[in-house]
């Protein structure tokens, strides 16, 4: 109860008491006039004192503004430091063939949602936190934090360090050699090794996913050059029968807005056994001029498993190359790429060739409708296909040539 309310009640009670005393006839009749006057004076003095106290009491402060509602258990005021939600939805209606079976499907092409936060700690230092998740609008599958997810610190002068889940440097390096969208992207299928793994399995490694338990350093840009150092720990406990398989990688890239080129490498220790490492190398180069761009890429995968008479096909090594181009006129963009993946060893007959293109129309700055087409030509033992996430293609036998034709909408938010 506030002071002003108490004073008002006291005044009310005094007034009521005064009225009761004056109106109670029997009491007035029995009291002398002097007694009545004395009683009135006392009541009036009490009322005057209470009024004085009320006037001296400061007005109650207005109620403070309620705090912003919490978001996910964190006060929304932290949005001042830069919490954002971003990502993309990329969904297509696709007519495809495994080389033997035709079908119509609804496909999602790397749709995702990312929660990003930053907090400025000083003029130079910023704290970072990211949770990235692949989503599948065409299905009900998916799990949280399947994309790049990490905590880190960024310095304007010294670069960024982070810990969590992140793309291998091999995958990070793209330049202008990966302009094509959807299932027509040959960078993923050929250069990053998806066709290799589909064909020869566990003796090869692909670079279309991310490494876990990562520590990474990313330099700032110095005279158009930048660098990445990447280490993925292996948390195997080292007990008998287990091998630690840490990954070491890095890249160096140059990009001045017109020219770009880069080199990346990635090594998985003990990939196929003790001292039998898996090495991957990648190079890109490209050029932007006006509304056009061109790019080339080369990759090599080398499994250092011992090649013996008993196991002549255990060692796998492929050389892969790609050329890509894009041209934009107005709201329309045309992009294409062609790539070739070699045999994994002489006479294996397990290489793949791929051609793909897309034509997009920008409906606004965030939304693009596009048509894409791609075809894979597999050697007699090749098993390359377009499977990715919830988009699954089951080729019944090796050597078939799958193709896809799709109409998609991509919305970036």
Q: Tell me the CATH architecture of domain 85-412.
A: Beta Barrel (2.40)
List per-residue pLDDT tens for the chain, 413 residues long. Answer: 444 455 455 445 444 444 444 444 444 444 466 676 776 777 777 777 766 666 665 544 444 343 333 333 333 333 446 789 999 999 999 999 988 899 999 999 999 999 999 999 999 999 999 999 999 888 866 678 889 999 999 999 999 999 999 999 999 999 999 999 999 999 999 999 999 888 888 888 999 889 999 999 999 999 999 999 999 999 887 777 788 999 999 999 999 999 999 999 999 999 988 888 999 999 999 999 999 999 999 999 998 776 655 555 567 899 999 999 999 999 999 999 999 999 998 889 999 999 999 999 999 999 999 999 999 999 999 999 998 878 888 888 899 999 999 999 999 99
Distances from the Cα of 262 to the Cα of 137, 255, 279, angstroms = 34, 9, 17
Phi, psi of 292 (to 5 degrees): -120, 155
pLDDT at 117: 95
Residue 183: partners with Cβ closer than 8 Å, 6 or more residues away: 94, 96, 107, 109, 356, 372, 374, 386, 388, 391, 404, 406
User: What is d(CA 104, CA 98) in angstroms, rounded to the nearest whole number?
Assistant: 12
Say which residue the tokens 């912003």 belong to.
Answer: 68
Q: Is the dihedral of CA 338, 344, 346, 350 positive or negative?
A: negative
User: What is d(CA 23, CA 101) in angstroms, rounded to the nearest whole number?
Assistant: 105
pLDDT at 197: 87
pLDDT at 304: 78
pLDDT at 45: 74
pLDDT at 245: 94
pTM, two decimal places: 0.77
pLDDT at 62: 42
Beta strands per DSSP E along 158-275? 159-167, 210-218, 225-232, 247-255, 259-273
Report which secondary-structure segment, H or E, holds 186. helix 186-186
* Residue 63 burial (CB count, 10 A): 6
Tell me the DSSP string of 256-305. Answer: -SSEEEEEEEEEEEEEEETTEEEEEEEEEEEEEETTEEEEEEEEEEEE--
Domain segments of the chain: what residues? 3-56, 85-412
pLDDT at 96: 94
Beta strands per DSSP E along 76-173? 84-97, 102-108, 112-120, 125-134, 149-155, 159-167
Distances from the Cα of 393 to the Cα of 4, 95, 187, 198, angstroms = 78, 12, 18, 11
Q: Are 172 and 191 in contact (CB under 8 A)?
A: no
Say which residue the tokens 């329309």 belong to.
Answer: 332
pLDDT at 56: 61
Provide the CB-side half-sphere exposure for 161 (13 A, CA): 5
State the DSSP code for 188: I
């Amino acid at each position: 109860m506030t002071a002003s309310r108490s004073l008002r009640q006291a005044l009310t009670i005094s007034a009521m008491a005064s009225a009761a005393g004056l109106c109670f006839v029997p009491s007035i009749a029995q009291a002398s006039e002097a007694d009545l006057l004395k009683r009135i004076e006392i009541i009036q003095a009490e009322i005057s004192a209470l009024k004085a106290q009320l006037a001296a009491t400061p007005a109650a402060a207005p109620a403070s503004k309620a705090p912003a509602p919490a978001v996910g258990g964190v006060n929304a005021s932290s949005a001042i430091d830069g919490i954002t939600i971003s990502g993309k939805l990329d969904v297509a209606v696709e007519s495809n063939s495994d080389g033997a079976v035709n079908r119509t499907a609804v496909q999602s092409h790397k749709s995702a949602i990312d929660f990003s936060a930053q907090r400025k700690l000083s003029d130079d230092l910023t704290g970072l936190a990211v949770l990235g998740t692949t989503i599948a609008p065409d299905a009900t599958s998916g799990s949280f934090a399947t994309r790049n997810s990490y905590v880190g610190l960024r310095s304007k002068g010294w670069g960024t360090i982070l810990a969590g889940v992140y793309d291998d440097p091999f995958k990070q390096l793209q330049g202008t050699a990966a302009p094509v969208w959807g299932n027509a992207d040959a960078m993923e299928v050929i250069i990053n090794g998806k066709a290799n793994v589909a064909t020869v399995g566990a003796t090869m490694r692909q670079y279309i996913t991310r490494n876990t338990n990562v520590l990474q350093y990313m330099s700032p840009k110095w005279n158009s050059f930048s660098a990445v150092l990447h280490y993925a720990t292996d948390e195997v406990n080292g007990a008998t029968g287990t091998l630690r398989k840490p990954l070491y990688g890095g890249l160096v890239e140059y990009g001045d807005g017109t020219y770009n080129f880069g080199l990346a490498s990635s090594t998985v220790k003990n990939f196929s056994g003790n001292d039998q490492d898996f090495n991957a190398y990648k190079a890109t180069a490209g050029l932007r001029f006006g509304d056009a761009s061109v790019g080339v890429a080369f990759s090599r995968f080398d499994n250092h498993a011992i090649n013996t008479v008993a196991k002549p096909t255990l060692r796998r090594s492929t050389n892969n190359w790609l050329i890509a181009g894009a041209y934009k006129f107005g709201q329309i963009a045309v992009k294409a790429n062609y790539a070739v993946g070699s045999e994994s060893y002489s006479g294996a007959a397990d290489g793949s060739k791929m051609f793909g293109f897309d034509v997009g129309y920008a409906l606004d700055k965030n939304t693009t409708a596009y048509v894409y087409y791609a075809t894979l030509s597999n050697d007699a033992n090749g098993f390359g296909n377009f499977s990715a996430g919830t988009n699954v293609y089951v080729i019944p036998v090796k050597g078939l040539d799958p193709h896809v034709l799709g109409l998609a909408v991509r919305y970036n938010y």
